[in-house]
Structure 1
């Protein structure tokens, strides 16, 4: 059996790091099992689904390193869902209901007052042909519910009916179908809710494993029943924990909270996002993987906690700095060229400054300091200004090599008697305009003697 997974967001907004977690869980599972990855857009909600969101989701996935084997759109597959509906109707497990939302809400309230669970009571099964004709004459159009197999002979007498599966993430799981309402599969206007197209597509596309958020656990019990009603073997299910904000709020595509797009625009590296999205809330230490192959080696769905995990954006910057500090010039070269950093000095500059960067784009500021001097000249006391004049007076002659900084500071100590911070800090401020940064021994040869003298206060 070829392992086949799918990532199936609705294109109603830009995906966030919680969505990326699901996509990455599926991608890494497929990688580790030499399987296939299907990108499926659950876009049956025609009013809210937009192609621009589908395109942005694909862009975000590619940025993360996910390249689907195939891309599908549910909005192009309605004929397949129509055929499934006819099969379910013929099997008498899909039935028409005419209640309005207000009527359903009232019935739920009545059931609660009677101490009963607020599930649908299957009243539509008792409608007479005359009542149906009357509803239709009033202009009511039916919605269609799936009859859950939670009874022996009389559907109006549901009884505890357990659906079991061995969850890839959570272990043994059980859902009691008697505790649930018969799900609506088809709306009054003939459009489909998520549940049926998802099952039909999983069957038609040969999906072997469904890995998704644990907010779908109850849905899984229902969908397993639909798989069996369509004479199909259910896939293996896995439900990972959800990510929340630091304050415990859920993430939403519509709100744009922690969207992949916003993280990318903020200069976060894709592997910082991927590493945190996958490893947070698992038994693995959250470390920055160099690439998805390395991350796959740390990925074990069963190592995921069952409780929600809080996502702290500050952790992204820690991982981002780690990736910066270890990024080779070959990896950075093209992106540095886009920033205008190129030529013979580009590589030595990168090797000098990468250990001080939060984002790759921060290298541009150091390039400008190297080329043009401090962006804002530092203010010095009279004593420090006298010291710097003495220091620049003993600047070594060219040619310069890797020892020029050591040679220069040795001469400065002899000339001024200063050492330690009182010696280094005024020099750093004069040369870079900053109190911290890369080793001056690395920067000085790039500045050259003329460029260094130009920084004399």
Structure 2
């Protein structure tokens, strides 16, 4: 059997870390078994889908280093869905409904008042529409669920049993003639030969429903792997702050694609990502069973630190293109070597470029020390050796050592408490700018 997975985003927004993780894991699963992944845009909901997001999603996936064997849009496959829809309609597994949203809300309210789950089943729907209304309305259609539970082996959670008794018969075709994801996805998986579906645990209810649709189509369902959802360090769902965690936002902050890939590939396994992790090595070690069953906690600060660890292993040649994309084309190899030990993202390189080339307003915390430093600053300050000689002379003249010496100097020269070694930084600042800042001037 050739393994074939799929990543099926809805083109209603940019990729965020949650669905990027699913794409990475679906890709890794396929590649680790010698297979491939398909990209399918689930764009049947015309009110939410935006074609412009398709290009953005492709860009994000390629930036991560993912590829796919073929690409599909559900909106272009309606004739295929119609064939299977009419088959199940003729067999009585799909049936028409005529309720308006208001009438459905009334049905739900009555069920809740009786202490029952607000589900829709065919018998409940009968009589819910005023007499004669059906004749003047376009129907929508639902799939009739059988009362037996869905039982399957999850590649992450093991044997699972999901009750469907409390679920509504799912809508499979809207009144405007478009098909819903729940139905179109099954038809696609059968037609395209999908062998494994890797997705979030929030799809468990969909899986229970879709297993019955597969059976109604006389098709074998794929194997399912449901990943626990991501949450933040406090246990709150990431969906509350997806805009901050979109791939484009992180890319603009100077995160590295290999760092995001490795971090997301390891998240939830208990195995820490390593700076030398790359897609090809992660393929060789990938095991879907290594993922835990508890929600995976994403710590953005931990991700930032790991990004910094990977950055510090990279040469200027390896980051030059992304620096240029961030508007930092003036950064040269010497400057990269200067700031690399002190940055966690490439955007911080831009911060240090501004600090070095100014203007900035110095932070003055010890005027007496700064006045002595300004008086002792040599006429030549073009090499680290000259800068070290100056710092040694200042230490001898003031009796200051360590933090007592370097903290006031660093705050005055850079406005920051931490950063590159001052002996390396001073020649890049230049004597005139260093002198002005030691005097408390904006420069």
User: What TM-score do you get using the length of structure 1 for normalisation?
Assistant: 0.81
Is residue 11 from structure 1 mapped to residue 11 from structure 2 by the alignment? yes
- In the alignment, the residues of structure 2 paired with residue 424 and residue 353 of structure 1 have an alpha-carbon distance, to the nearest angstrom, of 17
Displacement of 1:37 in angstroms is 1.4
- In the alignment, the residues of structure 2 paired with residue 330 and residue 121 of structure 1 have an alpha-carbon distance, to the nearest angstrom, of 62
For residue 372 of structure 2, the aligned residue among 370, 382, 387 is 387
- In the alignment, the residues of structure 1 paired with residue 106 and residue 411 of structure 2 have an alpha-carbon distance, to the nearest angstrom, of 73
Displacement of 1:304 in angstroms is 2.8
Identify the residue that residue 280 of structure 1 maps to in structure 2.
267
Identify the residue that residue 324 of structure 1 maps to in structure 2.
311
What 5-or-longer segments of structure 1 have no aligned partner?
A: 151-160
For residue 354 of structure 1, the aligned residue among 333, 340, 349 is 340
**SS of match in other structure, 2:245:** coil
For these two proteins, the number of residue pairs brought into alignment is 437
**SS of match in other structure, 1:14:** coil
Moved more, 277-286 or 354-363: 277-286
- Write the mapping of 1:41-190 to structure 2, written as runs, cut at 5 A: 41-111=41-111, 117-123=117-123, 134-137=132-135, 139-150=136-147, 161-190=148-177
Identify the residue that residue 423 of structure 2 maps to in structure 1.
441
The alignment yields a C-alpha RMSD, in angstroms, of: 3.6
Moved more, 192-201 or 301-310: 301-310
**SS of match in other structure, 2:199:** strand
Q: Is the 8 A contact 1:163 1:174 kept in 2?
A: yes
Q: Is the 8 A contact 1:10 1:41 kept in 2?
A: yes
Q: Is the 8 A contact 2:255 2:345 kept in 1?
A: yes
In structure 2, the CA distance between the partners of 1:417 and 1:28, relative to structure 1 (3 Å rule), is same
Displacement of 1:18 in angstroms is 1.5
In structure 2, the CA distance between the partners of 1:251 and 1:190, relative to structure 1 (3 Å rule), is farther
Q: Is the 8 A contact 1:209 1:237 kept in 2?
A: yes
- Write the mapping of 1:142-291 to structure 2, written as runs, cut at 5 A: 142-150=139-147, 161-245=148-232, 249-252=236-239, 256=243, 258-285=245-272, 290-291=277-278
In structure 2, the CA distance between the partners of 1:124 and 1:428, relative to structure 1 (3 Å rule), is closer
What 5-or-longer segments of structure 2 have no aligned partner?
A: none
**SS of match in other structure, 2:198:** strand
Q: Is the 8 A contact 2:231 2:298 kept in 1?
A: yes
Q: Is the 8 A contact 1:28 1:299 kept in 2?
A: yes
User: What TM-score do you get using the length of structure 2 for normalisation?
Assistant: 0.84
Moved more, 225-234 or 284-293: 284-293
Q: Is the 8 A contact 1:4 1:206 kept in 2?
A: yes
How big is each residue's C-alpha offset from its partner over 1:105-127, in whole Å with a ceiling of 9 and x where there is no partner? 44445555656554334228989
For residue 363 of structure 1, the aligned residue among 346, 349, 369 is 349
Displacement of 1:212 in angstroms is 0.8
Identify the residue that residue 361 of structure 2 maps to in structure 1.
376
Identify the residue that residue 39 of structure 1 maps to in structure 2.
39
Q: Name which one, 1 or 2, has greater alpha-carbon Rg.
A: 1
- In the alignment, the residues of structure 1 paired with residue 396 and residue 108 of structure 2 have an alpha-carbon distance, to the nearest angstrom, of 89
- In the alignment, the residues of structure 2 paired with residue 312 and residue 421 of structure 1 have an alpha-carbon distance, to the nearest angstrom, of 31
Moved more, 403-412 or 47-56: 403-412
- In the alignment, the residues of structure 2 paired with residue 118 and residue 425 of structure 1 have an alpha-carbon distance, to the nearest angstrom, of 64
In structure 2, the CA distance between the partners of 1:173 and 1:414, relative to structure 1 (3 Å rule), is closer
- In the alignment, the residues of structure 1 paired with residue 411 and residue 169 of structure 2 have an alpha-carbon distance, to the nearest angstrom, of 72
